Structures are given as structure tokens and as C-alpha cells.
Amino acid sequence: MISFKNFLNESQWMYHGTTYPKELTHIQRNEKGLKFDTAIGAHFSADPEVANKFSKGIHKSYVDNKGVVYKTKRPSRSELETVPQKKGHDDQDSVASHVLSSVFSHPDNKDLFVKWHRNKFASSQEQASNVHEKLSNKENIPVNKKEYGYDKSNKNTFRSYVDHHGAYSSNKDIHHEIVNKFIDHMKSKGKKGLVYKNTNSKETEGVDSPKSYIIFEPEKMKVEKHD
């Protein structure tokens, strides 16, 4: 039986699996990616078996090399922000909604919300500004499509609004601006990453813990191979 001390020591590690054969000294986020969950940071798992699946190319049709699992000490609990997740929601969608709602609800980011809204819904400056004002005041959005230029929504918070309409934006510049704003916002709160529950059954089947992490600046963390 594992001792309590050893259990605590082991629980301080997190794991990252890759099919990349060359030995890594650090891990980087995919800052140019168009998915929010990978653009804001690198992913790690609490259970090494999840990382092991990635090292074997779980989402790739063909892998011709032996993958590697790396480990590093996870940040403290106070340095990790928990992603709100609704039952039945995909974890990628939950992370994306958390990113957008955190950025858009900040009073300094109205112009960014307006740009995102106009790009996503082809709305006017006035329409997008009105939506931002109503969400800021937690007022319901009118269902008048002629007035607001998009399908009805009866949501009254930034989180429920992006949940309802989807977080994806086709504009790369707006996407990257949102990513950078979010990371800066989290760092100003003393956060080094996010913690969430992995909802992908293919990745978590047969493992002890579905807990996973997204680290904003993984290149600053010392990594070593996990045996």
C-alpha cells in the first residue's frame, strides 16, 4: 500500500504526453491555434495514463515512433482557477466559454466584445454595443431580430450568452487578442493555469482521475521524463 506521504508527493505531479520523439526540455502552448483550450496554454493530466494515451497517438491515425510522457510539478491549488462545467458539456466548450466570459465581462474590454460580436453576427456597432450594455446590467436580450440582426437569445450574462451562441470566431486577430487578454487577466489574479474535468471518454477510459490542467506559461516549468 502506498504511504500517505508518497501519495501526497505523487499528487503534486502532472503529466504531458507527446508523440514527438526528440527529448524536450520544456513544453510550449499552441499560441497560434484557433481552439481556445490549446491557445491559452499546454495541457497536463493528473493521471499519467491519460498522458500515456497521448504519447501513443490516441487521436492520430498513424504513429511511427515511440512517444514520451513528461512530468512536472503542478502549481498550488491557489494558483489554479477552476473552470465552471455544466453536466453533459464538452470540456473544450466549457474552457472556451470561460475564456470569453472572463474577458468580455471585464469593463475594460467592451471594444473587444463589440469587435467579436460584429464579426460573429455581422451586427452594427450600435447593436453590438447595446448587447454589451444589457449583458453588463444582466438584462435579457430582446428577441427582435430586425433590431439586433441575429437569432433570438433570452440570456442575460456573458457566460450564458457565449454558451448559447458558441465561442468560435473566424477572425484570427480577434481570437488571439482574446487569448492574450485572458492570460493577462489570469496572471493579474495570481493564476498560473486552469483545472478542469476531462470529459473525453476515449481519453479517460480506465484511468483513476479525469482531472486535467492548462498551464499558461509551460515553458517556464522544468519537465522530466516519466517512467
* Residue 56 in this model has a pLDDT that exceeds 50: yes
Q: Is the pTM of this model over 0.75?
A: yes
Residue type, 99: V
Per-residue pLDDT at 213 exceeds 80: yes
Q: In this model, does residue 98 exceed pLDDT 80?
A: yes
In this structure, the strands spanning 68-73 and 193-197 are unpaired
Average pLDDT, the chain: 86
Looking at residue 139, its pLDDT comes to 81
Q: How far is CA 8 from the centre of its chain?
A: 26
State residue 28 phi and psi, 5-degree precision.
Answer: -120, 155
Which percentage of the chain shows pLDDT scores above 70? 86
Please report the pLDDT score of residue 153 as a whole number.
53
